[in-house]
Structure 1
Amino acid sequence: MQAAIDRIMQTYDLLLNRTSAASDEARAKVTEYVQTLFDAGERDTHRLTVCGLTYLRQLDGSTDHVKAGYTGL
């Protein structure tokens, strides 16, 4: 699980330029989220990594389809 969290944060830090406080906050949130997935039975490091990155992108609004220009039409 820790390997997945480290990989998530390495990748996420490459995507966004944030302060160390923001990075620490993101690490705490994603650790809690990945722990929940792990406790539910997910053991695949790659899946945990993808889910964690998706979770962080949703938190920061990076996956907002309206902001990306998709209107659903």
Structure 2
Amino acid sequence: MEAAIDRIMMTYDLLLNRSAAASAEAREKVTEYVTTLFEAGEKDMHRLTVCGLTYLRELDGTNDPVKAGYTGL
């Protein structure tokens, strides 16, 4: 599980330029989320990584298609 969290944070830090405090806060949130997934039975590191990255992107709003300019038209 720790390897998945490290991979999530390494990738997420490459996507966004954030302060150390923001990175620490994101790590805390994603650790809690990945722990929940792990305890629920998800053991695949790659799935945990993808789910964790998706979770962080949803938190910061970068996964919002409307903000990205997609209107459906």
TM-score, scaled to structure 2: 0.97
Superposition pairs of residues 14-25 of structure 1, within 5 angstroms: 14-25=14-25
Name the structure 2 match of 1:41: 41
2:11 corresponds in structure 1 to: 11
Corresponding residue number in structure 1 for 2:51: 51
Alpha-carbon offset, residue 71 of structure 1: 1.1
Percent identical pairs in the alignment equals 81
Structure 1 position 50, deviation (Å): 0.3
- Aligned CA-pair RMSD: 0.6
* Structure 1: runs of 5 or more not aligned: none
Normalised TM-score (structure 1): 0.97
Q: 4+ runs of 1 displaced by more than 4 Å?
A: none
User: How many equivalent pairs are there?
Assistant: 73
1:9-61 per-residue CA deviation (whole Å, 9 max, x = no partner) reads 00000011100000000000000000000010000000000000000000000
Partner of residue 63, structure 1:
63
Counterpart Cα distance in 2 of 1:20 and 1:31: 16
